[in-house]
Amino acid sequence: MSYKKLVDGFDAFQKEIIQSEEKNYYKELLEQGQKPEVLIIGCSDSRIDPAILTNSNPGEFFAIRNVAALVPPYHNGGKLRGTSSAIEYAVRFLNVKHIIVLGHEKCGGVEALATGNYQATHYHNFQFLHDWLNIGIEAKEQVFKELECSSDEKKIRALEQASILTSISNLLTFPWVKNKCDVEELQIHGWYFDMKQGALLEYNAQDERFSKLCNHKDGTHFIKENPSICTFIKNYEQECTCHS
Ligand SMILES: [Zn+2]
């Protein structure tokens, strides 16, 4: 998409939505402020727009997008923490009721973590990606150890899903996130967008595996405790159809 297409796109949006009496949802959003019930933590990847995937309108969820949808661990001595600040605002001020960590197939960030091509010694000479992607380094070590004899495709898909679990474990290190989960004021979900199948998979905390997203009513699908990456890999290995 060219820059010009974005400018033309806003022009069309202004005519169709903002200048329309019925369709201009911003009037109501301006008067009432935002009250989203959901925080989505997704990847910056240009193909994975959570609003498009969920057919959502402005005001319906609060969003964080970063490289590989990663959440760093809680660290109260830290400074300049963009992702942690946005989580804090969503949980402590907006009082969201759900947090969804949305990972995806063919994630460039996870592939870089898997291959090590983000390191400062690599020809790109990246300055920041190394520390950021290292949030997932333990998951990488576990996946590569357990699936040593599997194909790269199978390992990377496992790491894409295990990275979602790492982000969820790190979310639970934020004391006010954990407290709200314990008293069931907050539910955490792990979603994986399978681009090839055009399907959303959800981590089921009871089965400790990702399976097709459906509208659960029993409340057993969301995550209260740290997910075990080890058990996830064992279940994954039995089920994954990527050739080994
Ligand atoms: Zn990605």
pLDDT of residue 130: 87
CB 62 within 8 A of CB 90: yes
- CATH code (residue 219): 3.40.1050.10
pLDDT tens column, 76-97: 677 789 999 999 999 999 999 9
Specify if 187 maps to a domain.
Answer: yes
Q: How far is the CA of 70 from the centre of ligand 1 (A)?
A: 10
Angle at 113 between CA 108 and CA 119, to 5 degrees: 105
If asked whether residues 23 and 64 sit together in one domain, one would say no
Q: How far is the CA of 44 from the centre of ligand 1 (A)?
A: 6
If asked whether residues 108 and 143 sit together in one domain, one would say yes
Ion ligand 1 neighbours, Cβ < 5 Å:
43, 45, 107, 109
Q: Distance between CA 149 and CA 34 in Å, rounded?
A: 49
Q: How far is the CA of 124 from the centre of ligand 1 (A)?
A: 18
Q: How far is the CA of 148 from the centre of ligand 1 (A)?
A: 23
Give me the domain span that covers residue 79.
35-239
Q: How far is the CA of 129 from the centre of ligand 1 (A)?
A: 13
Buried b (16+ CB within 10 A) or exposed e, 95-124: ebeebbbbbbbbbebbbbbbeeebeeeeee
If asked whether residues 99 and 204 sit together in one domain, one would say yes
Pairing state of beta strands 38-43 and 62-66? parallel
pTM: 0.93
Specify if 244 maps to a domain.
Answer: no
Q: Distance between CA 69 and CA 191 in Å, rounded?
A: 11
CB 154 within 8 A of CB 242: yes
If asked whether residues 191 and 80 sit together in one domain, one would say yes
Q: How far is the CA of 145 from the centre of ligand 1 (A)?
A: 23
Q: Which of 80, 68, 54 is nearest to 170 (CA)?
A: 68
If asked whether residues 56 and 1 sit together in one domain, one would say no
If asked whether residues 27 and 95 sit together in one domain, one would say no
If asked whether residues 191 and 154 sit together in one domain, one would say yes
Q: In the block, which residue shows the tokens 């820059």?
A: 3
CB 101 within 8 A of CB 71: yes
- What does the chain come to in residues? 244
If asked whether residues 153 and 49 sit together in one domain, one would say yes
Mean pLDDT over 103-117 rounds to 93
Residue 179 has pLDDT above 60, yes or no: yes
pLDDT tens column, 60-72: 999 999 999 999 9
pLDDT tens column, 119-162: 655 656 778 888 899 999 999 999 999 999 999 999 999 999 99
Name the domain count of the chain: 2
